[in-house]
Amino acid sequence: MASNTRPGFTLVELLVVIAIIGMLIAMLLPAVQSVREAARRVQCLNNEKQLGLGILNYHSAYKRLPYGGAGFASMTNWALRMRWRPSWGTTILPFIEQQSLYEKLDPAIPYLHPDNHAGGQQVVPTYLCPSAPKATLTRPNGDSPSSTLQFGRTDYAGNYGERSLRCYPSRNCQNNYSDIGIGDAVGRGVMLFGKDHQIGLRDILDGTTHTIVCGEAPEGLHSIWIGHKNLFDQSAPISEHVSPGSPWDSCSAMLASRNGDFCDFGQEFHSYHVGGSHFLMADGSARFVTQSLDLQILSALLSRRGGEVITDY
Query: In this predicted structure, what is the pLDDT of residue 3?
Result: 54
Of residues 302, 283, 280, 289, the one with CA closest to residue 49: 280
What does the pLDDT read at residue 97?
Answer: 96
Q: What are phi and psi of 101, to 5 degrees?
A: -70, -40
Q: Which of 206, 309, 219 is nearest to 268 (CA)?
A: 219
Residues 261 and 219: beta-carbon distance below 8 Å: no
With a threshold of 0.75, does the pTM exceed it?
yes
β-pair partners for 224: 153
Question: Residue type for 262, please?
Answer: F
pLDDT of residue 37: 74
Q: What is the pLDDT of residue 35?
A: 63
SS (HEC) of 170-192: CCCCCCCCHHHCCCCCCCCCCCC
Dihedral of CA 197/226/131/99: which sign?
negative
Q: What is the DSSP letter of 160?
A: E
Cα torsion 31, 37, 42, 44 to 10°: value is 180
Q: How far apart are CA 188 and CA 190, in angstroms?
A: 7
Helix, strand, or coil (residue 152): strand
Residue pair 276/290 in contact by the 8 Å Cβ criterion: yes
Q: What is the pLDDT along the chain (313 residues), one digit of tens a residue?
A: 555 555 666 776 677 777 778 787 777 666 556 667 788 999 999 999 999 999 999 999 999 999 999 998 887 777 777 778 999 999 999 999 999 999 999 999 999 999 999 999 999 999 999 999 988 999 999 999 999 999 999 999 999 999 999 999 988 899 999 988 888 889 999 999 988 989 999 999 999 999 999 999 999 999 999 999 999 999 999 999 999 999 999 999 999 999 999 999 999 999 999 999 999 999 999 999 999 999 999 999 999 999 988 877 7
User: 72: left (phi > 0), else alpha (psi -120 to 50), else beta?
Assistant: beta
> What is Dmax (Cα atoms) for the chain?
106
pLDDT value, residue 4: 58
DSSP letters spanning 48-72: HHHHHHHHHHHHHHHSSPPP-B-S-
Q: Which residues, at least 6 apart from 12, have a Cβ–Cβ distance to it below 8 Å?
A: none
Cα 36 to chain centroid distance, Å, stands at 21
What are the two backbone dihedrals, phi and then psi, of residue 262, each rounded to the nearest 5 degrees? -80, 155
